[in-house]
Amino acid sequence: MKHKHILLLFPLLLSLSSCENDTPVFQEYLYLFDTFVDMRLYEGNKEQKDHLVSLLKELDTLLDPYQSYQGVNNLHAINESQERMEVSPYLSEFLTLSLQAKEETKGYIDPLIGSLSSLWKSDLEKGVIPSQEEIDYLLQEKENSSLSIEGNYVQRSGSATLDSGALAKGYALKKVKEYLEEQKINRYLFSLGGSSILLGEKTSQNKDFKVSIRELGDQLYFQLHSTSLGTSSIYQQKYEIDGKIYSHIINPMNGKAEVKSPLVVVSGLDPFTMDCYSTYFALCGQEVMATMEERCDALFYDGKEITYRSESLEVYQR
């Protein structure tokens, strides 16, 4: 079987630049959430910067479904046990929001998709496709599993495991935004892998950042501020086997590594919701905007052209 694994070493989907030259007061480059983090504060102090770095590192640990940390009940700990356990308020909130996302998206976002995601990742890296029997078995396993949350106590029932991939970065930016608002910091930029972005204002005179989408070329860009962006793209991580492209995004409804829209960009105020919607829209296609257009702005790209764009998400040309 002929296969090829395509993975961009620096998986930045959105490249960002300012509309005028202004150096951040603080800038940090980190590697968290399995991606590169670009953090820029254009106002604030070192204590506030250090708090944000610590916050991101703490959330990276808590939302890690693959690695254990001594003395920490994180996602991996929940996946390894079916006992009722006490977790951080952050993790409890994340899981509560994830279950709410499952309900809002009618099951297209499902935190209990970990076993399916692991199966596809393992097989695709070997250049093979999971059998329908394996997929059906894990789909049934997911349906027979559940997650209960009471305050800061969590219990997983059944064999399906938790995965945070679709929502972790959005949740991290949600908590970052809450802290920035509490500290009355308005000028900032946070990019987690280029696919989850939180924008404040650049300067008081010219607030906008230029946000260009690499797949559309450097000539097209948005001008945005005080918003968040969620992006789902098969161009970021994809596998080609026998001439067919498979996505890293798994459909919880049918268990397949396939999407209807290869590139979706979603813009709105809440980073967690935008991360959720970008995956949901990629799986369901632009038809979903018939019922979602009041909740966010979105752009859909089919690999050749923009097939849908919200009127208020204006695209500029250099």
Q: How many CB atoms lie within 10 A of CB 145?
A: 18
pLDDT tens digits along 176-208? 999 999 999 999 999 999 999 999 999 878 899
Mean pLDDT throughout 274-284?
97
Strand partners, 222: 211
Cα dist from 143 to 107, 113, 139, 257, whole Å: 11, 10, 6, 18
Cα dist from 145 to 81, 174, 298, whole Å: 13, 28, 33
Domains and CATH numbers, the chain: 3-317 (3.10.520.10)
pLDDT of residue 299: 95
The lowest-confidence range among 11-25, 162-176, 215-229 is: 11-25
Q: Which residue has the higher pLDDT, 212 or 257?
A: 257
Confidence label for 16 from pLDDT (cuts 50, 70 and 90): low
Mean pLDDT throughout 249-264?
95
Q: Decide if 225 contacts 52 (C-beta within 8 A).
A: no
User: Residue 146 pLDDT > 70, yes or no?
Assistant: yes
Mean pLDDT throughout 35-61?
97
User: Residue 75 pLDDT > 60, yes or no?
Assistant: yes
pLDDT of residue 17: 54
Q: How far apart are CA 81 and CA 201, in angstroms?
A: 44
Percent of the chain with pLDDT over 70: 93
Quick one: how many helices (H) and strands (E) in the chain? 8, 18
pLDDT of residue 10: 31
pLDDT of residue 38: 96
Alpha-helical (H) ranges within 20-131 are 46-62, 75-79, 89-104, 114-125
Mean pLDDT, all residues of the chain: 91
pLDDT of residue 265: 95
Mean pLDDT throughout 276-304?
95
Q: Of the candidates 94, 53, 306, 271, which has an alpha carbon nearest to the alpha carbon of residue 170?
A: 271
Confidence label for 6 from pLDDT (cuts 50, 70 and 90): very low
Tracing tokens 């930045």 back to the chain, one arrives at 12
pLDDT tens digits along 106-134? 999 999 999 999 999 999 999 999 999 99
Q: Is 73 helix (H, G, I), strand (E, B) or coil?
A: coil
The secondary structure of the chain in percent helix, strand, coil, rounded to multiples of 5, reads 30, 30, 40
Entry pTM: 0.93
Q: How far apart are CA 54 and CA 248, in angstroms?
A: 29
Q: How many CB atoms lie within 10 A of CB 316?
A: 11
